[in-house]
Amino acid sequence: MTDQFGREISYLRLSVTDLCNLRCAYCMPAEGVAKKRHAEILSVEEIGELVSAAAALGVRKVRLTGGEPLVRRGIVDICKAVAQTQGIIETCMTTNAVLLPDFAAQLRGAGVSRLNISLDTLNPERYCALTRGGDLASALRGIDAAREYGFAPIKINAVLIDGFNTDEIRELASLSRLADTHVRFIELMPIGDSADFSGGKYVSDGAVLRAMPELEPRGSDGVARLYGFPGASGTVGLISPISSHFCPSCNRVRITSDGQLKPCLHSADEISLRGLHGAALLDAMRAGFFGKPRRHALDTGKISAAARNMNAIGG
């Protein structure tokens, strides 16, 4: 269906947990998050019902996210339920890759077609510091496992952080020279309890083009402006929620792991879908889709109005 501004809503980002095996400084508080009671989190059956309703309203693509989706108990069953929902033509996942050696084959079998992998640095000490204890080698093994089990193309997402990884822009972008690999640089968004960390570390994506003037324009996919190294088939994308937001072409809505529909990432507005079924669920969802705001108000120097940390939204 279209929203009040004529945008076709076809993409659902579904968070399956707030929990994570890492603690990235821009996403989560250092102490982690309190585990929600089992009853607070959507069950596999509820997820199936929500995705069916979203599909009935025109959603065609679902991305499973979190927190870290692979720490959610029953994640493979969730993937299967989503992928088998009538109307859903693409089921994908965003992950930090650490658990992919255990899960890549099962995800493939469950119908997940594509993986986006978050990786902000190729330096082990920096990785450990930013993720507060993570092991870069584990994430790289996860990326290898994704390739081994046929996930292609793979997208690597890197958040640009001033004074942290701007000297690695070329090295990260060069991953796009590998077969079936695309790299996306994402602007850092000050949000939730981590807004203090992010304040002052924002880097406009123009830094990427200045670091690699040889990049050739390769069009746009609606969200990212695409470039590529001469001769490389992989692309380097710039996702600029702050410097050039893509709200006019935004086709996405979010559902949190506790069943709140969020029509816009950077708004505090949430619509509870919990306990709704049938026509009541469809009506609530339709109202949320329709009322999606024209644009978010996260401009340079501002803090997101979202009333949650990123791990509790799904990015």
Among 10, 17, 85, 96, binds ligand SF4 (CB under 6 A): 96
Does residue number 189 form part of the binding site for ligand SAM (CB under 6 A)?
yes
Residues numbered 109 to 168 that lie near ligand SF4 (CB under 6 A) are 118
Q: How far is the CB of 312 from ligand SF4 (least distance, A)?
A: 9
Name the percent of the chain in helix, strand, coil, to the closest 5.
Answer: 35, 20, 50
Round to whole Å and give the CA distance between 114 and 215: 25
Residues 283-312 as x/- pattern, contact with ligand SF4 by CB under 6 A: ---------------------------xx-
Among 22, 71, 215, 255, binds ligand SF4 (CB under 6 A): 22
Size of the site for ligand SAM (CB under 6 A): 22
Residue type, 304: S
Does residue number 256 form part of the binding site for ligand SAM (CB under 6 A)?
no
Q: Parallel, antiparallel, or unpaired for β 236-239 and 224-228? A: antiparallel
Does residue number 96 form part of the binding site for ligand SAM (CB under 6 A)?
yes
From the list ligand SAM, ligand SF4, none, which binds 263 (C-beta under 5 to 8 Å, kind-based)? none
Does residue number 20 form part of the binding site for ligand SAM (CB under 6 A)?
yes
Please say whether the beta carbons of 44 and 81 come within 8 A: yes
Closer CB to ligand SAM, 33 or 105, in the complex: 33
Residue 65 pairs with which residues in a beta bridge?
A: 15
Q: Using CB under 6 A as the criterion, which residues of the chain lie in contact with ligand SAM when the complex forms?
A: 20, 26-27, 65-66, 68, 94-96, 118, 157, 159, 186, 188-189, 191, 194, 198, 310-311, 314-315
